[in-house]
Structure 1
C-alpha cells in the first residue's frame, strides 16, 4: 500500500495515491456512507424548500446547507443561459452529467473541503433541472441523487475525510465563523473551476 501524499496546501490530498483507512470494517464504511448520504438528502430537501420535521439537522448539515446553497445560487446565476438550454429528463441523465463534470473537476487528484462543497452544490443544480411531479415533488428523485453524490464522495475521498477530522470536526471547524469568510473565498475559487468545466461539456 502506498503512502498518502499531502500537498503544500493544508488539508489537500493527492487522490492518485491510495487513501488510508481503506481497510476499515465494512460496517464502519457503511455508516460513513449513510451519514454522507444523509447530509446530501438534507441539503437537497433544503434546496427544494421541503420542511424537515422529524429531527433537527446536525451542525454539519446546517453548515453545509448554508455554504453549498451560496455556491449553487452563484452557479445558477452565472450559468443561467447554459442551464436554460439543457434538458435533464431522467435520473440516468442526471447521473451521467454529474459524473462527467465531477470526474473532470477531480482529475488533478486534489481534495479539499471547498471542492467537496461544490459536489453537493452541483447535486442541487441537477436536482432542480429534473422534471417535477405536481403531487409529490421529487420524493424519490432527491434520494437517488443523494445516493450517487454520496457514492462519488465516499469512493474517492472517504479516507481524506477521515484523516481531516470527519464531517463533525474537520468540516465544521473549517467553516467556523472566525474563518468562514476566508474559506468561502476559497470555495468560490473552486466554483470558477466548475463553471469552466460545465461549459466544456455542454
Structure 2
C-alpha cells in the first residue's frame, strides 16, 4: 500500500475515498490471509476483525457467491449494485449489515481471484463499486450514527460478546437479497 494514499484517505473518514480505502485494505487483508500489513487506524483494524470473524463463522457467503456463478469484473459490476440495493430494500441500516457487505465483497474478491480474474483489476473494480454505493447511499446514516471512527469502532467494541446477534441480523438480509438477485440473474 502506498503511503500517500494511506495518509490522504485516513485523514478524511467522511469521504468516498475513505470508503474506497477501507474496501481496498480489507480486500488485500482477505487475499493475504494474514495481518502482514499493520492496520492504518482503528477503523481498519475493526473492519478487519469484524469482517474476518463474520467470514469464519459464515460460509453461507461463499455458497451464495457460487450460486451467482460470476467469472469477470464486468459481471460483478453489473450484479453487485442490484444486490446491494436489495440488501437494504427493507430500509433497515445497521453496522452489522455494512460489515457483512464488506465481508461479502471480500469473499467475492477471493472467489474471483481463484477463477483467474487479475487481482489488481478485481480489487479496484469491487472497491470502487462498494465505495460508491456506501458513500452515495449510506454516508448520511454513517454520519448520524457516529461515523466510522466513533460509531463503527465503538459499536464493535461494545458488541464483542453479543456480536452473534449482529451476525444473524446481517446474514438474514444478505441471504434474502441473494435469493432475489439469483432469481433475477
TM-score between both structures, scaled by the size of structure 2: 0.78
The offset of 1:44, in angstroms, is 0.4
The alignment status of 1:153 with 2:134, answered yes or no, reads yes
Counterpart CA distance in 2 for 1:80 and 1:53 is 24
The alignment status of 1:126 with 2:108, answered yes or no, reads yes
The alignment status of 1:139 with 2:120, answered yes or no, reads yes
The alignment status of 1:45 with 2:45, answered yes or no, reads no
The alignment status of 1:189 with 2:172, answered yes or no, reads no
Counterpart CA distance in 1 for 2:147 and 2:176 is 29
> Which residue is 1:13 aligned to?
none
The alignment status of 1:93 with 2:75, answered yes or no, reads yes
> Which residue is 1:108 aligned to?
90
Counterpart CA distance in 2 for 1:51 and 1:173 is 24
Q: 1:143-197 CA deviation, whole Å, 9 max, x = no partner?
A: 2211110111110111111121111111001111x43222442233211231232
Counterpart CA distance in 1 for 2:128 and 2:91 is 22
SS for the counterpart of 2:176 is helix
The structure-2 alpha-carbon separation of the partners of 1:196 and 1:109, relative to structure 1 and needing over 3 Å to count, comes to: closer
2:46 to 63, 72, 90: 63
| Bigger mean CA offset, 36-45 vs 125-134 | 125-134
- Indicate the structure with greater helix content: 2
Counterpart CA distance in 2 for 1:70 and 1:107 is 25
Q: 1:105-164 CA deviation, whole Å, 9 max, x = no partner?
A: 111222111111111012112212324587x95023112211110111110111111121
The offset of 1:31, in angstroms, is 5.9
Contact 1:42-1:57 at 8 Å conserved across structures: no
The structure-2 alpha-carbon separation of the partners of 1:35 and 1:82, relative to structure 1 and needing over 3 Å to count, comes to: closer
Contact 2:95-2:152 at 8 Å conserved across structures: yes
Q: How many residues align?
A: 172
**Aligned Cα root-mean-square deviation (Å):** 2.9
List runs of 5+ in structure 1 lacking aligned partners: 1-27
Contact 1:98-1:122 at 8 Å conserved across structures: no
